[in-house]
Amino acid sequence: MRILCGAVALVLLAVTGCQSGVSGQPEPEGDSFAVKDGSRLRFRPVLAELPPGPATGAAANRQSTDPAEQQAAAAALDCSPGPDPLDGRDDPALPLVGCDSVQGAKYLLGPVFLTGADLGKANARLDQSGSSMVGLSFTDAGSRKWAEWTAANVGKQVAMVLKSRVLTAPMIQSAITGGETQITGKFTLPEARQLARDIAGV
């Protein structure tokens, strides 16, 4: 589970087997990565976490608005490691059935509301307690969208999706304002660094 924090806000990231949080307190920079080709990273609301399990059939329409087709797509989806067959060609305006890139959890995700173009940088560092975290710095426009979305979706998860794979899916604990968000959890500094690199697209 991972946690995201924003200025005077705490976000809990619900990822299988991990515990994390987010805050807006400034921390030392650590390893910082400028966001590259931000259009590839997409922020989608998590509408449902779907039952895990092996793929049971041929690939189905993963972007249907029909609940029955969404369930069929989840059942057919193979979440084993490797590239996603959609590989970022998903329609941002439609729902998406996708997999967690590490744990293999399956999600039904809503339409995109933010992209990596709304992020300036991602960094990996240690917090004051010595725990690893990932920090996100939003652009001015991204900060406004993020603050509005988090305020309206407290208690819900958000998925950060790259190439149609879910990198992380935190739960929002409160509105995150100020343009700074932190993801913390039970991961090592090298794992935090890799997540920051994945989010930044470097």
CB distance 112 to 121 below 8 Å:
no
Q: Which two tokens stand for residue 55?
A: 């793929």
Per-residue pLDDT tens for 176-199? 999 999 887 788 999 999 999 999
The DSSP 8-state label assigned to residue 67 in this structure reads H
- pLDDT category at 78 given cuts 50, 70, 90 is confident
∠ CA 22-120-141, rounded to 5°: 85
Predicted model pTM: 0.83
* 194/185 Cα distance (integer angstroms): 14
Per-residue pLDDT tens for 26-38? 444 458 888 887 6
Comparing CA positions, the residue from 146, 102, 118 lying closest to residue 2 is 102
How many helical (H) and strand (E) elements, i.e. helices and strands, does the chain have?
Answer: 3, 14
Comparing CA positions, the residue from 110, 48, 106 lying closest to residue 77 is 106
* 2/11 Cα distance (integer angstroms): 9
Q: Which two tokens stand for residue 145?
A: 């969208």
